[in-house]
Amino acid sequence: MTAVYLDYNATAPVRPEAKAAVVRALEIGGNPSSVHAAGRAARSLIEAARAQVAALIAVIPGSITFTSGGTESNALAIDSAVAAGCDRILLGATEHGAVSENVRAAGVPVEVWPVDAEGVADLAWLAQALKAGGKPLVCLMLANNETGVIQPVAEASALVREAGGWLHVDAVQAAGKIAIDFNALGADTMALAAHKIGGPFGVGALAAGPRATLSRRLHGGGQERGRRAGAENLTGIAGFGAAADAARRDLVAIAAQSLWRDALQNRVEAAGAVILGKGAPRLAQTLGFAVAGFDAQMQVMGMDLAGVMISAGPACSSGKMKPSDVVAAMGRPDLAPGAIRISGGWGSSEADWVAAGDAWLELFARHAARRKEVA
């Protein structure tokens, strides 16, 4: 049995280009802060990667600060906003835990910004909330990791800027799947992670615009233009840059996966599944759906036994599974325990998506038969 991997929203397999870049970096053997030849070679590699990552979201390279991953990038942005005077936070109801947990640890009042039944942030609510004054930090992800729903970031930015606030965008899930223009979106800060686009684990980036002043969380050195202390992760950064280049090249191919996604969507919907965010703009390679009474953990395990790897909700909790907060925020707590996600990426094929549909429909048929027997 050949395994099918459709869990790219959890992590993408490392791209060949990224592996090759990591190996080249390992061979340099210098500290990027050293002034000798090996150090200069390492520094050159980091700056080349910075330009590659910057190009992925259309910013100048100097806007990019390398971090240990998306979580640190989100934390750095949130802490910096509070240090810069943001005295209240408006938190999107479907944000990833890397944002919501850092927001709740920031020490300022937090208001949860609701979404509609499709999972799209309510801009009318935001406009009203911004009238309360103060200097707000507004957190809105670009694309949801569980449903693929794309948020109206540019529209939110216009409201936030008019109110004198700071807009932080978690683009970890969106990068490499849709074209991103940091300036056109109007973000003040934006978080990225290498492993979501086929780079190595343990490296990410935070982009900061001219309205944002970063306050470093790690002290001890002047690396990353004084924004983050500690010797840079040379190999990880090299792999990140190569993956960013490849992801930008593959944007059209990723967009084409919507055809495969929609074909699977039609199959599971016909069987009785509810498609999450169906009426909203979504990432082309993400399909979230649920069946009331069909436990998500059992679905993931059953699919794995059938040779298809998928997820239930976010895959960032050390293997723990719990009902989806995202689906509950969309007004369907009844579906939350049964929500799963299928997500493709750079190495996916149409045959993978068909195999996932075959496996899930067989699994669901057995589930329905058991329920009928019990009834």
Mean pLDDT, residues 343-352? 98
Residue 319 Ramachandran class (φ > 0 left, ψ -120 to 50 alpha, else beta): left
- Rounded Cα distance between 299 and 295, Å, is 6
- Rounded Cα distance between 46 and 55, Å, is 14
Judge whether residue 317 has pLDDT over 80: no
What pLDDT is stored for residue 373 in this prediction? 79
Q: What are phi and psi of 67, to 5 degrees?
A: -135, -170
- pLDDT, tens digit, for every residue of 209-225? 999 999 988 888 888 88
CB 102 within 8 A of CB 93: no
Judge whether residue 1 has pLDDT over 70: no
What pLDDT is stored for residue 318 in this prediction? 43
- pLDDT, tens digit, for every residue of 150-190? 999 999 999 999 999 999 999 999 999 999 999 999 999 99
- pLDDT, tens digit, for every residue of 198-207? 999 999 999 9
**Type of residue numbered 323:** P
The burial class, CB within 10 Å (0-12 / 13-18 / 19+), for 65 is: buried
Q: Architecture of domain 4-12+252-374 in CATH?
A: Alpha-Beta Complex (3.90)
Q: What are phi and psi of 330, to 5 degrees?
A: -80, 5
Mean pLDDT, residues 111-131? 97
What pLDDT is stored for residue 249 in this prediction? 97
- Rounded Cα distance between 287 and 279, Å, is 12
Beta bridge partners of 111: 90
Mean pLDDT, residues 322-350? 95
**Type of residue numbered 94:** T
Lookup: tokens for 241: 């840059």
Q: Which residue has the tokens 């969106």?
A: 174
- pLDDT, tens digit, for every residue of 11-30? 999 999 999 999 999 999 88
Mean pLDDT, residues 111-122? 97
- pLDDT, tens digit, for every residue of 32-81? 988 999 999 999 999 999 999 999 999 999 999 999 999 999 999 999 99
Q: CATH number of 16-249: 3.40.190.10, 3.40.640.10, 3.40.1080.10, 3.40.50.300?
A: 3.40.640.10
- 83, 126, 131: which is closest to 108 by C-alpha? 83
- Rounded Cα distance between 13 and 198, Å, is 5
SS (H, E, C) the chain: CCCEECECCCCCCCCHHHHHHHHHHHCCCCCCCCCCHHHHHHHHHHHHHHHHHHHHCCCCHHHEEEECCHHHHHHHHHHHHHHCCCCEEEEECCCCHHHHHHHHCCCCCEEEECECCCCCECHHHHHHHHCCCCCEEEECCCECCCCCEECCHHHHHHHHHHCCCEEEEECCCCECCECCCHHHHCCCEEEEEHHHCCCCCCCEEEEECCCCCCCCCCCCCCCHHHCCCCCCCHHHHHHHHHHHHHHHHCHHHHHCCHHHHHHHHHHHHHHCCEECCCCCCECCCEEEEECCCCCHHHHHHHHHHCCEECECCCCCCCCCCCCCHHHHHCCCCCCHHHEEEEECCCCCCHHHHHHHHHHHHHHHHHHHHHHHHHC
* Residues annotated catalytic, as ranges: 316
Provide, rounded to the nearest whole percent, the portion of the chain with pLDDT above 70: 97
Mean pLDDT of all residues belonging to the chain: 94
- 10, 7, 6: which is closest to 314 by C-alpha? 10
Residue boundaries of the structural domains of the chain: 4-12+252-374, 16-249
- Rounded Cα distance between 218 and 216, Å, is 6
What pLDDT is stored for residue 217 in this prediction? 82
Judge whether residue 311 has pLDDT over 60: yes
CB 124 within 8 A of CB 335: no
CB 177 within 8 A of CB 284: yes
Q: What are phi and psi of 275, to 5 degrees?
A: -85, 130
Judge whether residue 344 has pLDDT over 60: yes
Question: In the chain, what is the greatest distance between 2 CA atoms, to the nearest angstrom?
Answer: 76
pLDDT band at 299 (very low <50, low <70, confident <90, very high): very high
Lookup: tokens for 250: 């593959």
**Cβ within 8 Å of residue 302, ≥6 positions away:** 359, 363
Q: Do domains 4-12+252-374 and 16-249 have the same CATH topology?
A: no
What pLDDT is stored for residue 346 in this prediction? 97
Q: What are phi and psi of 268, to 5 degrees?
A: -75, -30
- pLDDT, tens digit, for every residue of 266-283? 999 999 999 999 999 999
- pLDDT, tens digit, for every residue of 228-254? 878 899 999 999 999 999 999 999 999
- Name which of 68-72, 94-98, 318-322 the model is least confident about: 318-322
